[in-house]
Structure 1
């Protein structure tokens, strides 16, 4: 699975539950009554109780190994048990976690990282040796750990502990955005030598996160208990249980029936049906998913930048948001990361202009252009977006043939195949989006955008110590993508959650896959 999607959207698991009763059967241990006064009427957090959270799962192959976290359920469990050195804030900037600070040398190729005083669940301190062990485990060439590519800038053979809680990371090249590496998806810190035995993670995982392990039944449930010595303060909840319910209807019915208090990944239709009705609360995480069409810039007809610009102008973005996302989102402007750090917000919002689109197509000799648009039911809204854009293109004299692809192989198929495809992405820093998708040697460069001068700008940004100057370089890069890039980014979708009314403290401004998404140590039961 590669990174143009949210973690977990390639496969939805093998177990299914389609009714509230079926969802309840998956819960395992029943919920406990609150152990403290939890009226919570004044908004003050109350301590006690068990929260049950329903996620789509991965069947019997599920694991608590944080370096193998792939699905949303995996990540939510991992962040309850483990910590990273840093994590992404709501604007996708790196925020300190186990690391209290990071300082580069003048060349930006050596970074000194200082750890906070934190302990693992067994009482042992988190040390520099644990960090280096964790990163070397992730980088093992014999393994397929998700964070391996993100750690590539680090020369782990040369990096060393300079004290019990200090590390000098030696990098292969200047990297101004090195904190993004520390916050990388899946870069969790585990105790030295953890994972050497097959049972280490699924039978007795030890982390430094806010909850401690109690039990785990792959494909069914996991139960964790409050870690009272957590460095950021003990969670309000006594216990947290993750329940597997693969179908959205199962999660919703379990929530409505009181078998769970938190349901992850709801669709806009469900949200509209229940929002403001009082039975459950609907939480919308704004701007969580980029929605786009991906044009291959190295082959006809999209090797002509005039054709790409024409397609930018064909799109009626509001119609796409309203139709494909049922209004649960905002329009895009052909740039990734709306609202994120470094986003070029000053560029004018692109509007549909069919006359200009027709003129550009005529200049390019493509007045009666016919093109195939690949789509799939692999992601919500894809097939709807394809149909809407097909109709919009017809108004500019373009004939689009919509081709349905396999859910199992869609992402691999569109990486190098076809010319035009539906595409989406979860939250990541703009720097990571550029490095993973838009450089000549990027492994997930689905638009085949390959320009040495663009690569040079990225290296310039990474070599620029001053943040204001670095932001100016990123803006130059985005202006070029806005003018002639291969991503027609038409919208940013909300990520939708449902909770019982008694659940308080759920962060509403954190895109999926950021620090405060699925963060249950700050949640309480009122």
Structure 2
């Protein structure tokens, strides 16, 4: 399993607002971008975007996009029912509304009118049913989440209205419909001849190299997209990307290394910095000695100088974390005291646990993400202050994400922005696909189960903050910071804005135009 696939599977599921307020909604941020803030837009030109990664295995399947270039392609060819805006609030896309009934056990979806696929077919409920079934049947990225649908009970009320029963209540079902990889495709969809509703249609595609996408002239969003054609180019490494940007061979690149920000600015190009909920935790197996003792886990949390981590491992591109994920969720337990380095307390906890001379291996890899190895090495230095001997073992991507992945006693990993409940379902429940800490607390599990079925935001917030208290005190994550997303683009284009999710404004190239 490669890093890009890990990133993909973890790409942010967001909190939803629909026809009824059923989600534990995200903070309404004043950074919401108006059309005026994007500057004047005009039509024309070919937008060339350099994306890191890709190979001969690249594809165009909206439900199985395993690399950054694949994610960029599917985000422009296809669309989901809902999607988040730059302020991290769910907005309807192909859907017009969704309403919950029966305590979140039944949902009624209403589709947007007048949406066409690239082949001229009008979007209707049959396409939604087909897409849901395809996602589950092909064990796609969204299969686990959409598996809660009672397919035998689906009811088409009319061409634009679908009643969706669930096998169990899920108050945040809309979150799952907002995953970009849960896109809607027409009945009979063939990934070899891809058809979507996105702002661009397929032109040419060469796996591992480049692909072109002409403007879809019947796109439902008025005069968008602005450019005549989108070209996505794969790059093997960040230096090649940067050289292409500075040479004028591409107009935008993703994942600019933080240490190259000054280079881009000096050349007169633009750096796009987005505050995200992306996190690179240290992962501790709670079922394996010596980390099975919560005192040892707490001691390791207390050896971290979080400000130093941000400054040195991420070149200042991030903000301090507090051993909890999902910082943009209004259910986030902000009331918990900020954990800071306390070497004396760490020593005391280790002494009481009989681990005063603790030696432990920390497994890391450059594949985990920019700054991960530096963070591991810095952690080892900081731990010496508490008498802990951390031996950093750096391995390649194939080894880290190989057969021992999810089995490391003490390691690192990388997650994209998510809401709390979707993230817990991915990594903190006993049946989660990525329960790397092997966390299985009955009280926590019960709280999550109750919260999933709770439509009242206030009551659900209390349940989830109780759950966060348990993870804060006894869990297996050291969440020391949240990393900024750093991208770059030419001064010849406009329309890129900070976004709390994926790179380059979540790859929404429909808003980009030449100046």
State the TM-score, normalizing by the size of structure 2: 0.90
Q: Give me the CA root mean square deviation.
A: 2.2
User: Where does residue 154 of structure 2 map in the other structure?
Assistant: 159
Write out per-residue CA displacement over residues 252-287 of structure 1, whole angstroms, 9 at most, x where no aligned residue: 111111111011111111113323x25211111222
User: Where does residue 336 of structure 2 map in the other structure?
Assistant: 347
Of 219, 230, 237, the match for 1:230: 219
> 2:259, 2:118 → 1: CA distance?
42
State the secondary structure of the residue aligned to 2:255: strand
Of 384, 396, 418, the match for 2:408: 418
> 2:356, 2:38 → 1: CA distance?
64
State the secondary structure of the residue aligned to 1:355: helix
Q: Report matched runs for 1:119-138 at 5 Å.
A: 119-138=116-135
Q: Report matched runs for 1:441-520 at 5 Å.
A: 441-512=431-502, 516-520=505-509
Residues 250-259 or 416-425, more deviating: 416-425
Q: Cα distance 1:116–1:241, how it changes in 2: closer, same or farther (>3 A)?
A: same
State the secondary structure of the residue aligned to 2:47: strand
Q: Cα distance 1:159–1:115, how it changes in 2: closer, same or farther (>3 A)?
A: same
User: Where does residue 44 of structure 1 map in the other structure?
Assistant: 40
How far 1:173 moved relative to its partner? 0.4
> 1:341, 1:55 → 2: CA distance?
32
> 1:426, 1:71 → 2: CA distance?
14
User: Where does residue 7 of structure 1 map in the other structure?
Assistant: 8
User: Where does residue 360 of structure 2 map in the other structure?
Assistant: 371
Contact between 2:154 and 2:165, CA under 8 Å: does it hold in 1? yes
User: Where does residue 315 of structure 1 map in the other structure?
Assistant: 304
> 1:227, 1:175 → 2: CA distance?
36
State the secondary structure of the residue aligned to 2:398: coil
State the secondary structure of the residue aligned to 1:101: strand
Q: Report matched runs for 1:278-357 at 5 Å.
A: 278-357=267-346
How far 1:6 moved relative to its partner? 2.1
Q: Cα distance 1:8–1:460, how it changes in 2: closer, same or farther (>3 A)?
A: closer
Q: Cα distance 1:188–1:409, how it changes in 2: closer, same or farther (>3 A)?
A: farther
How far 1:95 moved relative to its partner? 2.6
> 1:185, 1:305 → 2: CA distance?
37
Contact between 1:264 and 1:498, CA under 8 Å: does it hold in 2? yes
Write out per-residue CA displacement over residues 410-461 of structure 1, whole angstroms, 9 at most, x where no aligned residue: 1345544232112221122221111111112212100111012211111111
State the secondary structure of the residue aligned to 1:157: helix
User: Where does residue 81 of structure 1 map in the other structure?
Assistant: 77
> 1:162, 1:295 → 2: CA distance?
49
User: Where does residue 395 of structure 2 map in the other structure?
Assistant: 405
Contact between 1:256 and 1:279, CA under 8 Å: does it hold in 2? no
How far 1:91 moved relative to its partner? 5.8
How far 1:9 moved relative to its partner? 10
Q: Cα distance 1:9–1:130, how it changes in 2: closer, same or farther (>3 A)?
A: closer
How far 1:317 moved relative to its partner? 0.7
User: Where does residue 209 of structure 1 map in the other structure?
Assistant: 198
> 2:127, 2:390 → 1: CA distance?
54
Total equivalences in the alignment? 487
Contact between 2:88 and 2:500, CA under 8 Å: does it hold in 1? no
User: Where does residue 66 of structure 2 map in the other structure?
Assistant: 70
State the secondary structure of the residue aligned to 1:83: coil
How far 1:59 moved relative to its partner? 1.9
How far 1:336 moved relative to its partner? 0.7
User: Where does residue 104 of structure 1 map in the other structure?
Assistant: 100
Contact between 2:78 and 2:183, CA under 8 Å: does it hold in 1? yes
> 2:474, 2:272 → 1: CA distance?
36
Residues 81-90 or 106-115, more deviating: 81-90
> 2:335, 2:429 → 1: CA distance?
24
State the secondary structure of the residue aligned to 1:508: coil
Of 240, 245, 250, the match for 2:230: 240
Contact between 1:54 and 1:260, CA under 8 Å: does it hold in 2? yes
State the secondary structure of the residue aligned to 1:137: helix
Q: Does 1:521 align with 2:490?
A: no
Q: Cα distance 1:393–1:42, how it changes in 2: closer, same or farther (>3 A)?
A: closer
State the secondary structure of the residue aligned to 1:146: coil
State the TM-score, normalizing by the size of structure 1: 0.88
| Ranges in structure 2 where 5+ consecutive residues have no aligned partner | 12-35
Contact between 1:82 and 1:190, CA under 8 Å: does it hold in 2? yes
Q: Cα distance 1:8–1:99, how it changes in 2: closer, same or farther (>3 A)?
A: closer
How far 1:80 moved relative to its partner? 0.7
Of 167, 171, 175, the match for 1:176: 171
State the secondary structure of the residue aligned to 1:240: strand
State the secondary structure of the residue aligned to 1:336: coil
State the secondary structure of the residue aligned to 2:335: coil
